[in-house]
């Protein structure tokens, strides 16, 4: 199981992959792990949109008060929405919904938690970069791969989702370049086609298998993977 340091924050944690990641970490980690499971509405099925800046600031303050000078070791930006539409049928509302949650949500949360990630990097005695030191993992998708789109678009157009995930990929790459000198690792993970509310019943794998694979990948990440785009098996995903 992944060594994720002293503290982890996971968004979109009330269902699907986020909830399964919380379960597996809670079952396998030491009692000293501070595990923050975040969502918009803990009692609602659509409590995944982590976009309100005021709530993000409150979250960062609360997490900071819990972790103290040791900071936050790992942020997993998992919350996402999947609006369907094509390039011809999608309207601005669909595009904004995708970008607000899938791009601006991770960007805003990472920015607010950056002081805690920096604190964790400074406090760690670990050489190099890793998830047990200071890292941000952004859950992306093969749908965000420009290279893979010609072969998959007919089966699943979902254009707003694809464009937003491609934007998330660029956001992560830029952030990786900016933060690597501070010892903060940024990596993109594709969880596979998973049987969840978002992925549908025809997915290739279930949530436990996907999360088990991603946690194993997390445990193997080093500075060599800064800015990488990997799947749940640790294999590179085409850009």
Residues belonging to the active site: 161, 165
Give the integer Cα–Cα distance in Å for 188 and 166: 11
* Helices marked H in the chain: 16-28, 53-67, 92-99, 105-123, 149-152, 159-179, 207-220
Give the integer Cα–Cα distance in Å for 175 and 157: 28
Give the sign of the dihedral formed by CA 148, CA 150, CA 153, CA 155: negative
Give the integer Cα–Cα distance in Å for 73 and 139: 17
List residues bridging with 156 in a β-sheet: none
């Amino acid at each position: 199981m992944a060594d994720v340091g002293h503290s982890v924050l996971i968004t979109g944690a009330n269902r699907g992959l986020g909830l399964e990641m919380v379960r597996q970490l809670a079952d396998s980690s030491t009692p000293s792990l501070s595990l923050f499971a975040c969502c918009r509405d803990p009692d609602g099925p659509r409590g995944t949109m982590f976009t309100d800046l005021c709530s993000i600031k409150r979250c960062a303050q609360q997490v900071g008060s819990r972790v103290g000078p040791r900071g936050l070791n790992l942020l997993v930006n998992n919350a996402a929405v999947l609006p369907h539409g094509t390039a011809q049928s999608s309207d601005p509302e669909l595009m904004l919904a995708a970008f607000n949650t899938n791009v601006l949500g991770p960007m805003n949360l990472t920015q607010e938690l950056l002081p805690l990630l920096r604190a964790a990097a400074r406090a760690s005695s670990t050489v190099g970069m890793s998830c047990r030191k200071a890292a941000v993992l952004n859950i992306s998708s093969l749908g965000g791969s420009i290279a893979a789109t010609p072969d998959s678009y007919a089966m699943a157009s979902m254009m707003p989702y694809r464009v937003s995930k491609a934007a998330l990929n660029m956001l992560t790459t830029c952030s990786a370049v900016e933060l690597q000198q501070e010892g903060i690792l940024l990596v993109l993970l594709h969880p596979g086609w998973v049987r969840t509310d978002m992925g549908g019943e025809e997915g290739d794998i279930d949530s436990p298998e996907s999360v088990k694979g991603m946690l194993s990948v997390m445990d193997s990440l080093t500075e060599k993977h800064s800015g990488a785009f990997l799947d749940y098996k640790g294999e590179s995903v085409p850009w």
